[in-house]
Amino acid sequence: MPRTVDAIVIGLGAHGSAAAYHLARRGPRVLGLEQFPRGHTLGSSGGLSRIIRLSYYEHPDYVPLLRRAWDLWRELERESGEALLTQTGGLFFGRPDGELVRGALESARTHGLPHELLDDAELRRRYPLFTIDDGWRGLLDVQAGWLAPERCIEAHLALAERLGAELRFDEPVREWSRDGDGVRVTTTRGTYRASRLVLAAGAWMSHLVPDLAPHLWVERNVLFWFEPRDGRDAFAALPVWIMEDADRFWYGFPYDADHGLKLAGLHFGDRADPDRVEREPRALDEDRVRAFLRRRMPLADGERRLAKVCVYTNSPDAHFVIDRARDAPAVYASACSGHGFKFASAIGALLADMTTAGANAPAFLRASRLAV
């Protein structure tokens, strides 16, 4: 006979760890299953830091979810005793009619978020480390900063265990299916049964929800840390930032003496199989970033200190996919398209609410828009 619990969570990364914690808080017996070792960085969440921001250019409807996420990250800090969120403010700049500035301003105004608008002269005065084009504008978001992803995930996992959840690592799932009014999950080590299932497998979601496979694709991304040639104190005083340049969005963090100045370009479009992704940076990866540095941040174009590869799971419209499985008591969250980590605390709570209280994801994030 299979072991029986109330809820199973498949995938214990950003969203799965949060879902396991929030489910355990609500009382069900929770089993978490993860195919890789505890603390692995083979998915989308490695890299020491992730931006969190409220003036969200992607869509104003994300802002209520972000507000909940911010509060839940602070709550997680209190519960765990860990420092997880560093508030630095956020600078978003580029052409005033570009997607970034226009969208961030729309979210800020729609939701009454504290912010400041800067013209090109003020951008140059406050942020001389950047090369600013004539006519550019910037939005300074007060409620922005960065999260420590590895610590966030471990905090969720440790608290879930404290609340009674059983978490099993190095245990890949072979298959799952409906079993009466519940689900049956078979792994490389055994078979389990539960009343409810949460699927949070990130780049491996297509294997677990085949209906999503035609709509998702996995992208290889490389994060870099450099030692500036000069101006370390000024780089350390930067807010988190996103720039809409002529070719793509670029983003970065304040200088960290232990690792350097972190930055990356968004969506180069290098498709990958998550099981076979090239984990070492290529010369092309670095050349792309250095070309940006020479153009926009010349003092940052120093020695490379670190580089890490991660994978994004993308949807066609770059919005998340959070919904219920067809014909089974299961919910899922995936395809966060490279901007999902900041939401993990709130998405974990939402998945728990969907599992135990009949809640639904916001309409614009549901799979129905993809004809799933």
Q: Note whether 260 and 351 are same-domain residues.
A: no
Residues 208-239 pLDDT 10s: 999 999 999 999 999 999 999 999 999 999 99
Mean pLDDT by 10 residues, the chain (372 residues): 94 98 96 98 94 98 98 98 98 98 98 98 98 98 98 98 98 97 98 98 95 95 97 98 97 98 95 95 97 98 97 96 96 94 98 97 95 82
Q: Note whether 240 and 342 are same-domain residues.
A: no
Residues 172-208 pLDDT 10s: 999 999 999 999 999 999 999 999 999 999 999 999 9
Q: Is residue 59 part of a domain?
A: no
Q: Is residue 193 part of a domain?
A: yes
By residue range, what is the domain housing residue 113?
A: 75-147+217-314
Please report, for residues 86, 203, 237, 302, the alpha-carbon distance to residue 308 in angstroms, rounded to integers and kept in the order given: 21, 17, 24, 17
Strand locations in 114-244, DSSP E? 115-118, 137-141, 144-147, 166-168, 173-179, 182-187, 191-199, 217-226, 240-244
Q: How many CB atoms lie within 10 A of CB 279?
A: 13
Q: How many domains does the chain have?
A: 2
Residues 48-68 pLDDT 10s: 999 999 999 999 999 999 999
Comparing C-alpha atoms, which of 151, 178, 212 is closest to residue 372? 212
Spatial distance between the Cα atoms of 286 and 133, rounded to a whole number of angstroms: 24
Q: Note whether 228 and 342 are same-domain residues.
A: no
Q: Is residue 51 part of a domain?
A: no
Q: Note whether 305 and 172 are same-domain residues.
A: no
Residue at which a domain ends, from 298, 314, 330: 314
